């Protein structure tokens, strides 16, 4: 890989490529940290070094420079996929909350039923 300004090959570590791939999927530092079993601070430090190496200031610019310019249609499709995944996660969380509420209600009924029968 070369930078636009210098045309000097930039060697990226396996971890840097891994982080760029996760950033390309739209993951936050916290999500990357969870995925890689590292701390968010470690991820932030990796990106700090990566930004300097690539001569950029944020994840989007780093991914753009790493992959090169991509057609707008690809970016739009990727955004749509990301939104769909987020929507699926929201629906799953709503269902989890609903189920937890049912379990709590059942536990409360049991507690109140037990206390009524003991008196």
Compute the mean pLDDT over every residue in the chain, rounded to the nearest whole number: 82
pLDDT class for 74, splitting at 50, 70, 90?
Answer: low
Contact 1, 9 (CB under 8 A): yes
Residues 81 and 94 in one domain: yes
Asked if 57 and 100 sit in the same domain, the reply is no
Residue 33: pLDDT band by 50, 70, 90 thresholds? very high
Q: 28-32, 35-39, 74-78 — which is least confidently predicted? A: 74-78
CB 3 within 8 A of CB 61: no
CATH of the domain at 61: 1.10.10.10
Q: Which pLDDT value is given to residue 96?
A: 94
Return phi, psi of residue 9, to 5°: -60, 135
Query: Does residue 69 surpass a pLDDT of 60?
Result: no
Q: How many CB atoms lie within 10 A of CB 19?
A: 26
On whether both 96 and 118 belong to a single domain, the answer is yes
pLDDT category at 80 given cuts 50, 70, 90 is confident
Strand ranges, E, within the chain: none
In this predicted model, which residue has the larger pLDDT, 67 or 102? 102
47 and 76 assigned to the same domain = no
Give the residue numbers spanning the domain of 118: 70-119
Domain match, 4 and 16 both? yes
Least confident of 84-88, 95-99, 100-104: 84-88
For residue 4, what pLDDT band results from cuts at 50, 70 and 90?
very low
Judgement on whether residues 44 and 21 belong to the same structural domain of the protein: yes
- Give the tokens for residue 15: 């971890």
Co-location of 57 and 91 in the same domain: no
Residues 5-22 pLDDT 10s: 444 456 788 898 899 989
Please tell me whether residues 44 and 91 are part of one structural domain: no
Number of domains in the chain: 2
Q: How many angstroms separate the CA atoms of 88 and 29, rounded?
A: 21
């Amino acid at each position: 890989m070369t930078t636009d300004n210098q045309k000097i090959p930039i060697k990226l570590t396996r971890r840097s490529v891994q982080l760029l791939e996760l950033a390309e999927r739209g993951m936050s530092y916290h999500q990357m940290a969870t995925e890689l079993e590292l701390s968010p601070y470690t991820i932030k430090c990796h990106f700090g070094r990566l930004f300097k190496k690539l001569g950029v200031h944020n994840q989007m610019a780093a991914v753009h420079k790493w992959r090169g310019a991509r057609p707008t249609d690809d970016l739009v499709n990727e955004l749509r996929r990301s939104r769909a995944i987020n929507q699926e996660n929201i629906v799953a969380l709503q269902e989890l909350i609903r189920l937890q509420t049912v379990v709590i209600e059942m536990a409360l009924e049991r507690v109140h039923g037990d206390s009524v029968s003991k008196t």
